[in-house]
């Protein structure tokens, strides 16, 4: 095993990449099924975030909601109660205000917090080709760089806590908007008798191309699987967080507001399994 002991709260493909790279990893996940692959690869299991932070010098987290993220850091049994951790790296999408609050809270226990939200989906996590947006102290970033590179391409956004979260929210807003409008355009074309595959071919060499036409439609819509690798509830959450931040900054989001409404309706009518915190 190489380097410092690492911890991972909310297991997944990124934890697996750390183990494959030779790092000793302690994992924590409420789901036995999610914890099984890293445990089979040699990880040690913890029963709480605090236990992870008592075994690892660097703790990572990837959780679905701001509430679950905040609880895993500063709630009972959270990272803040750990006795070993020195650096906390948040790979989740929580929004900049939550990130700033977490950073301040952990600083009181001499734990350095780093935002590192990622983009690139399940394939990116598996292949180590994610975009990793990072904000935090520059010296801490420099020390973490060799580990973070295991996940993909790094972008240092700045030292202000939450800056990387803002960048991630902008990215996810644009991704959601492109998918929503591509769906509308494709339905119009199909109703008019156009072939869907031909439409995507045209769009991908024209000015209408986007992440939806280049990836989501060829991979998940045209084959009829509709598995984008990202839950509608999470997309709605991210767009909502982005619009909340835009409102706080006094930035109007007219198109974004329409997409938020579309996602809210879609989630309510067709995605009946709620996104609830696990921690």
Please confirm, yes or no, whether 237 is among the known catalytic residues. Answer: no
Long-range contact list for 69-73, CB < 8 A, 24+ apart? 69/94, 69/98, 69/102, 69/279, 70/94, 70/98, 70/101, 70/102, 71/277, 71/279, 72/9, 72/10, 72/279, 73/49, 73/102, 73/105, 73/106
62: left (phi over 0), alpha (psi -120 to 50) or beta: beta
CA distances from 5 to 26, 87, 108, 141, 201 (A): 8, 11, 22, 17, 47
What is the chain's Cα-based Rg? 20
HSE of 211, CA atoms in CB hemisphere, 13 A: 14
Q: What token pair was written down for 242?
A: 């982005």
Q: Which residue has the tokens 């935090």?
A: 136
Q: What is the DSSP string of 114-151?
A: EE--EESHHHHHHHT-EEEEEES-HHHHHHHHHHHTTT
C-alpha 59/C-alpha 269 separation (Å) is 37
Contacts of 158 (CB under 8 A, 6+ apart): 135, 164
**Active-site residue identified among 160, 168, 197, 216:** 168
Contacts of 150 (CB under 8 A, 6+ apart): 17, 18, 21, 128
Could you list the active site residues?
A: 168
């Amino acid at each position: 095993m190489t380097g410092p002991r690492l911890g991972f709260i909310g297991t997944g493909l990124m934890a697996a990449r750390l183990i494959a790279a030779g790092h000793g990893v302690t994992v924590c996940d409420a789901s036995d099924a999610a914890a099984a692959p890293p445990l089979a690869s040699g990880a040690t299991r913890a029963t709480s975030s605090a236990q992870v932070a008592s075994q690892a010098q660097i703790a990572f987290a990837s959780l679905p909601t701001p509430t679950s993220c905040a609880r895993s850091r500063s709630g009972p049994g959270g990272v803040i109660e750990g006795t070993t951790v020195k650096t906390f790296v948040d790979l989740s999408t929580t929004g900049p205000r939550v990130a700033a609050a977490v950073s301040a809270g952990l600083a009181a226990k001499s734990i350095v917090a780093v935002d590192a939200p990622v983009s690139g989906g399940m394939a990116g996590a598996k292949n180590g080709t994610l975009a990793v947006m990072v904000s935090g102290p520059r010296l801490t970033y420099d020390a973490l760089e060799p580990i973070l590179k295991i996940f993909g391409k790094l972008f240092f956004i700045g030292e202000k806590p939450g800056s990387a979260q803002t960048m991630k929210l902008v990215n996810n807003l644009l991704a959601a908007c492109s998918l929503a409008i591509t769906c509308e355009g494709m339905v119009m074309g199909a109703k008019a008798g156009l072939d869907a595959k031909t439409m995507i071919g045209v769009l991908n060499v024209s000015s209408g191309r986007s992440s939806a036409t280049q990836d989501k439609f060829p991979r998940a819509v045209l084959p009829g699987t509709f598995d984008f690798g990202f839950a509608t509830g999470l997309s709605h959450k991210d767009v909502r967080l982005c619009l909340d931040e835009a409102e706080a900054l006094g930035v109007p989001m007219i198109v974004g507001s329409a997409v938020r409404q579309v996602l809210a309706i879609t989630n309510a009518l067709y995605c009946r399994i709620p996104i609830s915190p696990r921690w």
